[in-house]
Copies of this chain bind each other. A is one copy, B any other.
């Protein structure tokens, strides 16, 4: 992995990244390269936040407080409007709901107003009927998680995260950044225009379509500004508002592995969430995607691990995951948002090297 990082740095002198690899509860790599990021720097990880939110939800599933095959209305009665009364929690949390946004868009103020956006989404008609497929709920899956946590526990998602994950593990990952942490936050750099090879669905979002609805692009700031926005850093939206570093993400995922001494939930709980729930043509992104329950799982586009692996990437380039087959946890951040936005291809190369290393160590 060190040779890869050297290769990346030589090819791109402005390259900054954090990489952390944990194998069988042992930190085998925790490094930062480049001028801008230290190992304990913090950076907005965009949708890699969703994976951490998945870890938070796991404990509710394990305790039976959240039953995946119950209708959403069992927890959130207002959600039953517009023929959504039969939709299961499982559909909602595997990107199958079709409740992507609001016809007129929504602002960051509305998104960070706790109950307001959830109430409006509850009243809305899905873009597709359950059974038509799945598509990336880029923003709203976080609102669903926040509202379910609120309805079930009476606390906010970020409070539940703090008490069940952050404090027990002592990790430097934040949904809502305090003053101490704020001083260590490094801002995202916008994507370089030349880098856009046109392959990403986020390269240029046309106004008025389904992608624009899911990213609320008519009313939200540009993507690369979102994670650094004061409202986002203060509130910590579950969908994309996590602020952390490679080490903290790897540490959290390490605590999802079956053999970890710090286990956050039973292996079966994560194994059930890592089962492929949704696969194929994504109704929003118009490429093939693959999701478990909240988590992304490996596919040809994101080949980060075995069929038992689970994690998430982020538009800013980050990637973090756990792989029970190889006892591996991995975290990666970078400072420059890739063009097109999404998982930094270098993160996948590092993940592949880490997997090869872990397999060779087993023999």
Q: List residues of chain B with CB within 8 A of the CB of A277.
A: 128-129, 132
Proximity bits, A261-280, B CB within 8 Å = 1, else 0: 00000000001100111111
A143 to B23, CA, bound (A): 35
Judging by beta carbons under 8 Å apart, are B275 and A127 in contact?
Answer: yes
Query: What is the distance, in angstroms, from A359's C-beta to the closest C-beta of chain B?
Result: 7
Judging by beta carbons under 8 Å apart, are B209 and A279 in contact?
Answer: no
Judging by beta carbons under 8 Å apart, are B213 and A129 in contact?
Answer: no
Q: List residues of chain B with CB within 8 A of the CB of A283.
A: 276, 279
Q: List residues of chain B with CB within 8 A of the CB of A244.
A: none
Chain A residues 232 to 283 lying within 8 A of chain B, measured CB to CB, are 271-272, 275-281, 283
Q: List residues of chain B with CB within 8 A of the CB of A276.
A: 98, 127-129, 132-133, 283
Stretch at the interface among A152-160, A184-192, A223-231, A305-313: A305-313
Partner among B100, B208, B271, B280 whose Cβ is within 8 Å of the Cβ of A281: B280
Proximity bits, A113-150, B CB within 8 Å = 1, else 0: 00000000000011111001100000000000000000
A295 to B72, CA, bound (A): 29
Judging by beta carbons under 8 Å apart, are B272 and A125 in contact?
Answer: yes
A303 in the interface (beta carbon within 8 A): yes
Query: What is the distance, in angstroms, from A133's C-beta to the closest C-beta of chain B?
Result: 5
A298 in the interface (beta carbon within 8 A): yes
Proximity bits, A281-314, B CB within 8 Å = 1, else 0: 1010010100000000011100101111000000
Proximity bits, A6-36, B CB within 8 Å = 1, else 0: 0000000000000000000000000000000
Known: A280-B281, A288-B281. A307 touches B272 (CB 8 A): no
A209 to B272, CA, bound (A): 18
Known: A103-B308, A271-B125. A359 touches B208 (CB 8 A): yes
A301 to B199, CA, bound (A): 17
A205 in the interface (beta carbon within 8 A): no
Judging by beta carbons under 8 Å apart, are B279 and A132 in contact?
Answer: yes
Judging by beta carbons under 8 Å apart, are B128 and A303 in contact?
Answer: no
Q: List residues of chain B with CB within 8 A of the CB of A306.
A: 208-209, 213
Judging by beta carbons under 8 Å apart, are A129 and B275 in contact?
Answer: yes
Judging by beta carbons under 8 Å apart, are A126 and B308 in contact?
Answer: no
A103 to B267, CA, bound (A): 14
Query: What is the distance, in angstroms, from A357's C-beta to the closest C-beta of chain B?
Result: 12
A61 in the interface (beta carbon within 8 A): no
Partner among B271, B280, B307 whose Cβ is within 8 Å of the Cβ of A280: B280
Q: List residues of chain B with CB within 8 A of the CB of A307.
A: 100, 127, 209-210, 213
Judging by beta carbons under 8 Å apart, are B325 and A133 in contact?
Answer: no
Query: What is the distance, in angstroms, from A335's C-beta to the closest C-beta of chain B?
Result: 30
Query: What is the distance, in angstroms, from A333's C-beta to the closest C-beta of chain B?
Result: 24
A109 in the interface (beta carbon within 8 A): no
Judging by beta carbons under 8 Å apart, are A275 and B103 in contact?
Answer: no
Q: Of A103, A127, A129, A272, which is in contact with the most chain B CB atoms at under 10 Å from its CB?
A: A129
Q: List 19 A-B contacts (CB under 8 A).
A: A98-B276, A100-B307, A103-B308, A103-B325, A127-B307, A128-B275, A129-B275, A129-B277, A132-B278, A132-B279, A206-B303, A208-B305, A208-B306, A208-B325, A209-B298, A210-B298, A213-B307, A281-B281, A281-B288
Further contacts, 4 of them, CB under 8 A, given A132-B275, A286-B300: A128-B276, A208-B305, A208-B355, A208-B359
